[in-house]
Amino acid sequence: MAAELRKILYIEDEPDIQTIAKLSLEQVGGFEVCICSSGAEGLEKIKTYHPDLILLDVMMPGMDGPTTLAELKKNPALKKIPMVFMTAKAQPQEIEQFKRLGVVDVITKPFDPVGLPTLVRKIWMSAVG
């Protein structure tokens, strides 16, 4: 397990959100961010890119976030990597349902670009303890 959060894999289909999140996490947070535009692309990229944290959009065409999460969870090498959903669907019962699927937390959209790196770091710290 990494001693500090450095590398983030973000699976998100919306180009505008990709851009804002990448700028926020890299420029404000100082992280290295790899963006994938689909669940399938994320599953391919994870074979060569070894992130400390995975951020996942919930609603994507083709393979959605929960399906992508289930596929990622099948890989024993990824068991220790915290995974976090990012979604506009954030009713309390939905958040609980997402956590039962195996994410450590849920970040609601729209997110605050200035506060996103701090929030991500806090979630990561609580997950790796």
The CATH number covering residue 39 comes to: 3.40.50.2300
Do residues 83 and 39 make contact, with C-beta atoms less than 8 angstroms apart? no
Model confidence band, residue 107 (pLDDT cutoffs 50, 70, 90) = very high
Model confidence band, residue 89 (pLDDT cutoffs 50, 70, 90) = confident
Classified as helix, coil or strand, 33 is strand
Output the pLDDT for position 123: 97
- Say if residue 124's pLDDT is above 60: yes
Q: Is residue 1 part of a domain?
A: no
Per cent of the chain over pLDDT 90 is 91
Do residues 86 and 64 make contact, with C-beta atoms less than 8 angstroms apart? no
Output the pLDDT for position 2: 52
Q: Is residue 2 part of a domain?
A: no
Domain with 39, as residue range(s), is 7-128
- Say if residue 43's pLDDT is above 80: yes
Per cent of the chain over pLDDT 70 is 98
